[in-house]
Chains A and B, each alone.
Chain A
């Protein structure tokens, strides 16, 4: 399966530059997810790989060959669109076989292929239906089957699940994960949903403002975000950020801010000592805070519980720490009264520090 490489890829609309020199390499058989908020350039990047948008400067290589000047049909790729993009006047079988019929493949081969992929996505009973007579999930399957039938090495997904309702989205996500294990293709998937990114990706590429912020495995990005944006974007509920200052108290380093003062672990302290700017942002995930009434004050945050959102086994608490808000994720069984001021221990190993001005991780 082909290897894709983007080299200093730039997209300009008139004078406005929306992608600022993207460098990216996608390996054989890899499921790459481009994720970011709307307007970050992820869909544009995908559409440029597909050949639906011109490349303003830079180059795209597939297996070492430049493909920038090629038409979409000559790039060996298949694509699934957000709005499915089915041909409304053709039935399911005709939709799936359109590319094969254009290639003038023999009829017996086409029929076999259609049966094969329709079986894969569970559409065998619907081959004679027009897209208008299918539900959203079924249409999405047709789009998937159509892309599968093409037998191309690169598989592009442009937010394929965002038009589905939450339950169906979860189900399709699981099916997609299963499919990506079965078919050996180089897949590139665009989404704004960080859960889809985390669950599906071999590699996540986080984009923001036309730049790649960070790329790596989901675990790498979750545990070691390189800046505040990536830290805040991945993970649900999002990471808490508190303004603070690094202070030396009798040899030990503390992060002190409005209503808290946390002692840093020796490893963190060694890194923090090298920071030039003492003004920092403390980052801590809601799941890394735990209710601990007896914890030592230098390892815990004292929070006033304002709102509790019950979501089943877990509850999300919206709390106040000085003038800043903090969310905490905790077991719903823990008795809790609104308005109480409680102590929550912070997992010292999972504290993140970001430079206040550059917002880069320290």
Chain B
């Protein structure tokens, strides 16, 4: 009697440590944040002492032009990065999906940027972007071209370039894997049917890679909304608010402006945005599974 009960409990016992850690590290802070977002909360107070203000923080943010600016920067940053990364990553994969001597070395080199810690990436690019001693401007000078004020006038473009450099490899390796798992014979059939290399890409390869590409793009988008370190090191959000993405603004609101409640509300806005993306991603995979199941059903009815 007792042993059978213990047996039934054993899965839960094994899961318990993970559940406890989840509760402490994720659910407790999340609850704390939601709770805090309804209060006018200064870091010197405990949460109990803070005054309850209802939805005031959310409403303030809704009308705050700086928050709008920051949200706009975040959206611009995320979408431009992901679109450019997708184009370059998929393009590279299409180019490098062949047997050339030294290709494995080349592929390894391509994915190196992804392995470097973000802070190091930030520092590296900050040196390269330096107005006088940076690699870029010295190269431009050597070529006899005018200097570019990378982190000043073109700050957003500069951080976007750094992000593209770091994350294109991610899309590259996933696209390459997708490409290499395509049915070889379908591509051969397309060659016999008269498709040129370009038509093969357009009509066969890209449509067949699409499910992987959509999930990859959504994953990257979710990631791009949360980026912090590289921009923090490169520009600290400046000049002005030109590169102040949401993650950075949240951290500054909490530490510099000492408005924990507002920072928490802002985090929740970001969370809602990310949740929408995640739901879209899960919805897409569910839809695909459902379609596959429907196809199987139709198949079985026939046979």
Query: Which residues of A come within 8 Å of B, CB atoms?
Result: 50-52, 71-73, 77-79, 81-89, 98-99, 102-103, 129-130, 132-135, 138, 146, 150
Contacts and interface: CB of A to CB of B under 8 A. Distances in A.
A130 B295 contact: yes
B109 interface: no
Contacts of A89: 207-208, 210
Contacts, number: 76
Nearest to B186: A85
Contacts of A130: 295
Interface of B: 183, 185-186, 188-196, 199, 203-204, 207-208, 210, 292, 295-296, 298-299, 302-303
Contacts of B196: 73
Nearest to A75: B192
Nearest to B188: A52
Contact of A102 (B195, B292, B302): B195
Nearest to A78: B192
B185 A102 contact: no
A50 B299 contact: no
Given A87-B204, A88-B208, A150-B193, A133 B185 contact: no
Contact of A103 (B194, B207, B208): B194
Contacts of B302: 133-135, 138
B197 to A, nearest CB: 10
Contacts of B295: 130, 132-133
B274 to A, nearest CB: 30
Q: Which of A50, A89, A134, A135 has the most CB of B within 10 A?
A: A89
Q: Which of A50, A72, A84, A135 has the most CB of B within 10 A?
A: A72
A270 B185 CA distance: 53
A325 to B, nearest CB: 40
A264 B60 CA distance: 110
B185 A81 contact: yes
B297 to A, nearest CB: 9
A52 B191 contact: yes
29 contacts: A51-B192, A52-B188, A52-B192, A72-B188, A72-B192, A73-B194, A73-B196, A81-B188, A83-B183, A83-B185, A85-B185, A85-B188, A85-B189, A86-B189, A87-B189, A87-B190, A87-B204, A88-B183, A88-B208, A89-B207, A102-B195, A102-B199, A103-B194, A132-B292, A132-B295, A134-B299, A134-B302, A138-B302, A146-B189
Nearest to B301: A133
User: Which 4 pairs show the lowest CB-CB distances between chains A and B?
Assistant: A85-B185, A99-B193, A73-B194, A85-B189
A77 B208 contact: no
A86 B186 CA distance: 6
Contacts of B190: 87, 98
B299 to A, nearest CB: 5
Nearest to B300: A135
Contacts of A81: 185, 188-189
Nearest to B298: A133
Contact of A132 (B204, B208, B299): B299
A130 B199 CA distance: 21
Given A85-B183, A89-B208, A135-B303, A79 B189 contact: yes
Contact of B192 (A73, A129, A134, A138): A73
Contacts of B207: 89
Contacts of B195: 73, 98, 102
A191 B204 CA distance: 28
Given A89-B208, A102-B194, A103-B194, A135 B188 contact: no
A79 B188 CA distance: 9
Given A73-B192, A132-B292, 15 more contacts: A50-B192, A52-B192, A72-B188, A82-B185, A85-B183, A87-B189, A88-B183, A98-B203, A99-B193, A102-B193, A102-B194, A132-B296, A132-B299, A135-B303, A146-B193
Nearest to A130: B295
A133 B299 contact: yes
A77 B185 contact: no
Contacts of A134: 299, 302
Nearest to B191: A72
A86 B183 CA distance: 9
B187 to A, nearest CB: 8
A85 to B, nearest CB: 4
Given A81-B185, A87-B186, A88-B186, A73 B193 contact: yes
Contacts of A72: 188, 191-192
Q: Which of B192, B295, B298 has the most CB of A within 10 A?
A: B192
Nearest to A80: B189
Contacts of A102: 193-195, 199
A79 B191 CA distance: 10
Contacts of B186: 85-88
A98 B193 contact: yes
Nearest to A132: B295
Nearest to A83: B185
Given A85-B183, A85-B186, A135 B299 contact: yes
Contacts of B188: 52, 72, 79, 81, 85
Nearest to B187: A85
Contacts of B208: 88-89
Nearest to A126: B302
Q: Which of B189, B191, B295, B303 has the most CB of A within 10 A?
A: B189
A87 B303 CA distance: 21
A197 to B, nearest CB: 22
Nearest to A84: B185
B212 to A, nearest CB: 13
A287 B28 CA distance: 83
A134 B296 CA distance: 9
A83 B189 CA distance: 11
Contacts of A99: 193-194
